[in-house]
DNA sequence: AAAACGGGGGC
DNA sequence: GCCCCAGTTTT
């Protein structure tokens, strides 16, 4: 995909994204701790389930202090349907404890510091930076990785390679919108196994129509 | 680079 | 039962 067509593709997707139901990153706001929480819960979990669990948790314990006030059992019960709930509950409590003890209860706005937190990798750290702190960062999950490779915009093997390639190539104005926009696109049209190319509005720009994963 | 980690929900 | 699912850590 050429740079010119990339711009057209982003513009078309921006136009039609209102047709799609809001997902987690598009509906939960910019609070850095809640973005962090939703990312921990989202691991190998359907987005609808992640979204609902994050909303339930926000109603009861929206801050690190609140997380530590409730028991691990109660926390597990709230997030239960996301799966791996024991491990995720432990991770959330550890993160809350570290934020309180080392960062005055605030989420750091620095990549290296974020990556030190347990259960936080590049996808999560970069998403917090871009969504909550409006910093130039690119959060690459499996959706972004799959889509930009199908487009032929990059040719990469892993999400980390994709992040590097996009940092080199992607014009800065798109850094803020690529994740929220392309995750929606990946959930509704450019699906992993059965991409819905027959209803894709940017099919003409895609170099690998119908390629799985 | 690949495997391990370790669960619910839809069908 | 078998498949899917915003990933991170360890080998």
Strand C at less than 7 A from CB of A187: yes
The structure tokens 């801050």 sit at: A63
Tokens at A188, concatenated: 């509704």
Distance CA A156, CA A85 (A): 32
In the 105-144 segment of chain A, residues within 7 Å (Cβ) of strand C are 115, 118-125, 127, 141-143
For chain A, give every domain's residue range: 3-23+138-205, 27-133
Indicate the burial class of A90 (C-beta count within 10 angstroms; 0-12, 13-18, 19 or more).
middle
- Is A208 among the residues known to form the active site? no
pLDDT at res. A211: 72
**Average confidence (pLDDT) per 10 residues, chain A, 213 residues:** 95 96 94 98 96 97 97 96 96 97 97 97 98 97 96 96 97 96 96 93 90 70
pLDDT at res. A28: 92
Residue nearest to nucleotide C9 (CA to C1'): A119
Distance CA A37, CA A56 (A): 12
Give the closest nucleotide to A26 (alpha carbon vs C1'): C6
pLDDT digits (tens, 9 = 90+) for A157-179: 999 999 999 999 999 999 999 99
Alpha carbon separation from A92 to A8, A25, A31, A53, A104 (Å, rounded) = 40, 18, 16, 13, 16
Whole-number Å distance, CA A15 to C1' B3? 41
Q: H-helix or E-strand containing A95? A: helix A85-102
Catalytic residue among A47, A141, A157, A212: A141
pLDDT at res. A208: 85
pLDDT at res. A210: 72
Can you state the angle between helices A142-151 and A178-188, rounded to 10 degrees?
Answer: 80
Give the closest nucleotide to A82 (alpha carbon vs C1'): B8
pLDDT at res. A73: 95
Strand C, nucleotides < 7 Å from a protein CB: these are: 4-9
Q: What's this model's pTM, rounded to 2 decimal places?
A: 0.95
Distance CA A61, CA A75 (A): 9
Third-level CATH fold of A3-23+138-205: Endonuclease Iii, domain 2 (1.10.1670)
Catalytic residue among A123, A135, A208, A212: A123
Q: Do domains A3-23+138-205 and A27-133 have the same CATH topology?
A: no
- Is A109 among the residues known to form the active site? no
Distance CA A164, CA A67 (A): 34
> What count of Cα atoms within 13 Å lies in the side-chain half-sphere of residue A116?
10
CATH superfamily, domain at A27-133: Hypothetical protein; domain 2 (1.10.340.30)
Q: Are the beta carbons of A6 and A181 closer than 8 angstroms?
A: no
Give the closest nucleotide to A45 (alpha carbon vs C1'): C5
């Amino acid at each position: 995909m050429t740079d010119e067509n990339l711009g057209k593709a982003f513009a078309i997707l921006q136009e039609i994204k209102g047709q799609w139901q809001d997902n987690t990153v598009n509906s939960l706001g910019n609070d850095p701790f809640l973005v962090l929480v939703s990312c921990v819960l989202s691991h190998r979990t359907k987005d609808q389930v992640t979204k609902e669990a994050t909303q339930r948790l926000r109603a009861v314990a929206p801050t690190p202090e609140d997380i530590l006030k409730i028991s691990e059992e109660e926390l597990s019960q709230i997030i239960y349907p996301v799966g791996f709930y024991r491990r995720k509950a432990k991770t959330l409590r550890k993160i809350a404890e570290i934020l309180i003890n080392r960062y005055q209860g605030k989420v750091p706005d620095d990549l290296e510091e974020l990556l030190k937190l347990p259960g936080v990798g590049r996808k999560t750290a970069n998403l917090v930076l871009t969504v909550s702190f409006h910093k130039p960062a690119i959060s690459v999950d499996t959706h972004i990785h799959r889509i930009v490779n199908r487009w032929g915009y990059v040719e990469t093997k892993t999400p980390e390679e994709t992040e590097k390639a996009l940092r080199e190539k992607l014009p800065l104005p798109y850094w803020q919108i690529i994740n929220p926009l392309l995750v929606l696109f990946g959930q509704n049209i450019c699906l992993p196994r059965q991409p819905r190319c027959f209803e894709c509005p940017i099919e003409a720009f895609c170099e690998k129509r119908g390629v799985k994963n």
